[in-house]
Amino acid sequence: MADEKMDYMLEVKDLKVQYNTDAGIVYAVNGLDLCITSKKTLGLVGETGAGKTTTALSILNLVPNPPGKITSGEIFLAGKSVLGMNINELEKMRGNEVAMIFQDPMTALNPVMTVGDQIAESIMLHNKVSETESMSRAKEMLRLVGIDEGRIHDYPHQFSGGMRQRVVIAIALACHPKFLIADEPTTALDVTIQAQVLELIKQLIAKSDMSVLLITHDLGVVAEICDEVAVMYSGRIVEKGTADDVFNHILHVYTEGLFNSLPNLRKRGEELRPIKGMMPNPMEKIVGCSFAPRCPYATKRCLSEIPALRKMSDTHFVACHAYDDKTFTLKGNING
Amino acid sequence: MVDISINSISGEQELKSRSLGQETLRRLLKNKGAIIGMLFLLILIIAAVLSGFIYDYDTDVISQNIGERLQWPSRAHIFGTDELGRDIFIRILYGARYSLTIGSGSVLIGLIVGVIFGSIAGFYGGMVDQVIMRTNDILYAVPNIMIAVVIVSLLGTSTFNLLLALCVSASSSFVRIARASVMTIRGQEYIESAYAMGLPTWKIILKHVIPNSLSPIIVQVTLLIGTTIISASSLSFLGIGVPSPAPEWGAMLSAGRSQIRNASYICVIPGLAIMFTVLALNLLGDGLRDALDPKLKK
């Protein structure tokens, strides 16, 4: 058991997070299991509201409380329990061992501090170095992300969106974290800049020994970067496997729907094919499989019993009751 | 190492690095009203400081000279003399010290107290917020002058007590502004990012939250100094401000009331002094508000 843990950079077991709002309880994450082997990149895919960002914040124990509350589960980072740490241990861990890249570079930088100061801030906090030393390391970081080091005394408003995201990446990597969480790092950027930033992230991952959790709803980004993929729906993992497993041997109906929803450039003029129905209201506690109301294969059992992740091959897992029937295959009729 | 630099970066390089402070100053200097306000205040401050060195308080400012009483403005006394023969020009200059110290002093104390409580209320929210804000609402509901009258009559009339009395109402408006401004900053992603970086909360408030919520507070400082000068003068007019014979503008105005029919300048001149000082502060405040408004940024 102990040996097994060593392999994992991140291990999340049965994580449940809820937000207690005035309007009622919002169930954001409902029993999530996830692990990332060290030096691997895992893509966490799912639509808006699936609980991806809440999962990321839980890993840093940063779920805003109140209203958020982690009601059950365990999170191990390099073998250490994150939820059991006191505030000092957490502050030591954040930014140093685990860093996070935020979604919107326009708001993720402090507008009244120079970018150099913001990079150096994290370096000075976690390493006992002088201000000059930390500034020279900040320059190094800027060069690493492809920004001229002469701009170290510039303010965020003097940079474009893509450049700001580079700065955000530089801040995240300033202390050489072992684990990086990238929460939709390219979503707020336009397509050409997306490609540049993606290329940068890819190269930085390749060069370092980091494990990465890449959160996105963009399947193209996942295909580009990730070793493994986990598909999230309504606060739970419904399918996970290597990129090859999930892209070429789809098992879960939802994953299939997700792929079929992508507009096809070759068939212009064809109607878009979204998945029928809506994601369940997160304020209702779900009894059975959360996808059952939209699933063409749903049976009575799906409405009453939560499907566990079942092993379909050495690397490929799916949470679906339909695979009780050994001959079951998807018929490709999920999209309307 | 892989070369990832991109050509477009060098194009932006020519932009001169300019801090938000420099940027604000540049925009402030484009505003004529703000320049006039600043110049007036600068002259007033210099005059107030110098008056202490040029004139002697006992012989020039408060000593009576009955022979020259009630003289209209002339070459010898440009603002005339009051009913006790004192030169009004000298008294106005010297009086600027009272108005400026009381105005800026009470606003400064109010600023510190108000920003501390307002930031705490805005940042933590919940019960803490409720307690601080409701207490503040109670203070806010009572008219400023009322509070000041009560405090001064409890502690006795002196310049320091007046300052203390006025800072209570100043702080309650800072609590509101600081809270509102901190609440919007608190939800920003860079605050979350600072937490993810491992910064402790107090550092986040000090380095990230307060510097970003300063703009509305700075504007309020200039506007509130004006209001406070008026309040201080009002209290002196009522006889519970700066005790006589000190040349406080409101007290001078009050003393001239009995002569208003034959020597109106005794009232008019201190009144104008108050008006122009407050006007200058408001012009500066308006200019600052425009300069700090992100929507007007080019």
pLDDT digits 0-9 by tens, B63-107: 777 777 777 888 877 888 888 878 888 888 888 988 889 989 999
Residue A110, SS3 per DSSP: coil
Window A:19-78, CB contacts with B under 8 Å: 60, 62, 66
Give the residue, B197 or B5, on which the prediction is more confident.
B197
| Percent over 90 (pLDDT), chain B | 21
This prediction's pTM: 0.76
Which of B13, B188, B197 lies nearest to residue A148, judging by beta carbons?
Answer: B13
Q: What is the pLDDT of residue B35?
A: 92
Work out the pLDDT band at B273, boundaries 50, 70, 90. Answer: very high
Q: What is the pLDDT of residue B41?
A: 92
DSSP B130: H
- Report chain B residues whose CB lies below 8 A from the CB of A114: 17, 19
Q: What is the pLDDT of residue A229?
A: 92
| Percent over 70 (pLDDT), chain B | 91
Distance of CA A27 to the CA centre of its chain: 18
**Which of A4, A17, A11, A5 lies closest to A75, judged by CA?**
A11
CB contact under 8 A, A155 and B195: no
CA distance B244 to B234: 14
Residues 6+ apart with CB under 8 A from A135: A116, A120, A152
Is 50 exceeded by the pLDDT of residue B9? no
Specify the residue for token string 């419904």.
Answer: A238
- Report chain B residues whose CB lies below 8 A from the CB of A100: 193, 196
The chain-wide mean pLDDT, for chain B, equals 84
A196 near B CB under 8 A: yes
The total of other beta-carbon atoms located within 10 Å of residue B139's CB is 15
What are A21-61's pLDDT values in tens digits?
888 888 888 888 888 888 889 999 888 878 888 898 899 88
Mean pLDDT, residues B142-151: 86
Point out the least confidently predicted range of A117-126, B19-28, B193-202.
B19-28
User: How high is the mean pLDDT in each 10-residue block of chain A (336 residues)?
Assistant: 60 88 86 86 86 88 83 87 86 89 87 89 88 90 88 87 89 89 85 85 86 87 88 89 88 86 77 79 82 84 86 88 80 67
- Report chain B residues whose CB lies below 8 A from the CB of A148: 5, 9-10, 13
CA distance A333 to A294: 12
For A200, nearest residue in chain B (alpha carbons):
B4
Phi/psi of residue A331, nearest 5 degrees: -105, 0
Work out the pLDDT band at B179, boundaries 50, 70, 90. Answer: very high
Q: What is the pLDDT of residue A3?
A: 46
B11 near A CB under 8 A: no
The total of other beta-carbon atoms located within 10 Å of residue B135's CB is 14
CA distance B275 to B220: 18
B257 near A CB under 8 A: no
Q: What is the pLDDT of residue B283?
A: 92
Which of A95, A104, A153 lies nearest to residue B196, judging by beta carbons?
Answer: A95
Q: Hey, which residues does B81 pair with through a beta bridge?
A: B87
Which of A109, A126, A147 lies nearest to residue B9, judging by beta carbons?
Answer: A147
The shortest C-alpha distance from B291 to chain A (Å) reads: 15
Q: Is B80 left (phi over 0), alpha (psi -120 to 50) or beta?
A: left
Q: Which two tokens stand for residue B280?
A: 């200058």
